[in-house]
């Protein structure tokens, strides 16, 4: 579970509600018609922009923001170096005995192809095609939330204009103008909150998640190719470490020396 996402979302809601309740009643900021315009309009825009299956799959995309945690790349590199040592010591066919212990289907697929003697270029082509497919799914999920973040404020403004038209059409009672104006402005508030507190931050989180997973898959591809070519485990480790930021490489070395 991603605690940062949950804390950020809840803290944002609490701060906004706290600011409202310190000056006014929360009931004055609730208007069902405004909510319908903003949420309904944003969903309709998403349905127009994306296939139905993408919109219906939004629950799975949200789950990636809150509950999916990327594997530590250091751990992946350690495992790949271990497999390289086994392959160099006992032969690459011996890796077939360890595939049952691996939880990553992508890594299992690559090792199995190497064990089966598949041409190295074909192994890399297949694994990179799989990687590109994953990246495409991630882009689609991110684009869905970016779409909502783009259109929610626009529908908020549309709701405000509708409210103003209704208000200007009935100005016989001057005392009703203030409350009517307040209700008209609520749709703009809802649109801004949905875009800037929910949709766009989730899109950014999905983008970060995608980069993390793509890096892990690239490490896996290069690791499998290095194992298949029979590289020395130390060389495999050095190759894979190039994917890590310099700060992470230094922290890993320091941890190893301390141990």
Q: Which residue has the higher pLDDT, 61 or 104?
A: 104
Nearest Cα to Cα of residue 245 among 205, 215, 206: 215
Contact (CB, 8 A) for 123 and 113: yes
Q: What is the pLDDT of residues 140-178, one digit of tens each?
A: 889 999 999 999 999 999 989 988 888 887 777 777 677
The yes-or-no verdict on residue 251 having pLDDT over 70 is no
Q: What is the pLDDT of residues 1-18, one digit of tens each?
A: 678 888 999 999 999 999
Q: What token pair was written down for 148? A: 């909502």
At residue 55, the pLDDT reads 83
The yes-or-no verdict on residue 250 having pLDDT over 70 is no
Judged by average pLDDT, the poorest of 113-122, 125-134, 237-246 is 237-246
Q: What token pair was written down for 143? A: 């684009």
pLDDT band at 185 (very low <50, low <70, confident <90, very high): confident
Q: What percentage of the chain reaches a pLDDT higher than 70?
A: 94
Averaged pLDDT, 101-120: 92
Nearest Cα to Cα of residue 38 among 239, 224, 188, 236: 188
Contact (CB, 8 A) for 123 and 110: yes
The yes-or-no verdict on residue 247 having pLDDT over 70 is no
* Backbone angle region of 173, left / alpha / beta, with phi > 0 → left and psi within -120 to 50 → alpha: beta
Alpha-helix runs per DSSP H in the chain: 3-21, 32-35, 41-49, 52-56, 58-67, 73-90, 105-115, 120-168, 177-193, 200-228, 233-241, 246-258
At residue 258, the pLDDT reads 47
At residue 164, the pLDDT reads 86
Dihedral pair phi/psi, residue 117, rounded to 5°? 80, 25
Q: What token pair was written down for 16? A: 């906004």
Q: What percentage of the chain reaches a pLDDT higher than 90?
A: 45
- Mean pLDDT, all residues of the chain: 86
What gap in Å lies between CA 105 and CA 112, rounded to an integer? Answer: 10
The yes-or-no verdict on residue 254 having pLDDT over 50 is no
Q: What is the pLDDT of residues 40-95, one digit of tens each?
A: 999 999 999 988 888 888 777 777 777 777 778 999 999 999 999 999 998 999 99
At residue 141, the pLDDT reads 87
Block residue for tokens 């825009």 = 45
The yes-or-no verdict on residue 255 having pLDDT over 70 is no
Q: In the 3-class helix/strand/coil scheme, how is 105-122 assigned residue by residue?
A: HHHHHHHHHHHCCCCHHH
Judged by average pLDDT, the poorest of 183-197, 198-212, 235-249 is 235-249
pLDDT band at 253 (very low <50, low <70, confident <90, very high): low
What gap in Å lies between CA 97 and CA 83, rounded to an integer? Answer: 11
């Amino acid at each position: 579970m991603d605690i940062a996402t949950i804390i950020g979302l809840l803290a944002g809601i609490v701060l906004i509600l706290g600011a409202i309740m310190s000056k006014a009643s929360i009931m004055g900021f609730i208007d069902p018609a405004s909510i319908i315009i903003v949420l309904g309009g944003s969903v309709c825009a998403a349905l127009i922009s994306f296939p139905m299956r993408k919109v219906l799959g939004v629950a799975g995309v949200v789950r990636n923001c809150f509950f999916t945690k990327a594997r530590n790349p250091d751990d992946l590199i350690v495992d790949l170096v271990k497999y390289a040592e086994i392959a160099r010591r006992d032969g690459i066919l011996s890796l077939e005995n360890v595939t049952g212990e691996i939880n990553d289907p992508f890594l299992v697929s690559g090792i199995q192809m190497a064990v089966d003697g598949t041409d190295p270029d074909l192994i890399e082509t297949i694994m990179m095609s799989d990687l590109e497919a994953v990246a495409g799914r991630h882009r689609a999920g991110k684009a869905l939330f970016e779409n909502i973040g783009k259109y929610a404020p626009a529908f908020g403004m549309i709701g405000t204009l509708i409210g103003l038209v209704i208000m200007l059409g009935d100005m016989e009672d001057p005392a009703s103008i203030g409350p009517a104006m307040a209700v008209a402005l609520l749709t703009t508030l809802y649109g801004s909150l949905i875009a800037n507190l929910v949709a766009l931050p989730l899109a950014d989180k999905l983008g970060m998640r995608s980069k993390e997973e793509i890096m892990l898959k690239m490490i896996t591809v290069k690791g499998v190719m290095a194992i298949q070519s029979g590289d020395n485990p130390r060389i495999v480790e050095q190759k894979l470490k190039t994917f890590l930021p310099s700060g992470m490489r230094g922290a890993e070395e320091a941890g190893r020396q301390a141990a």
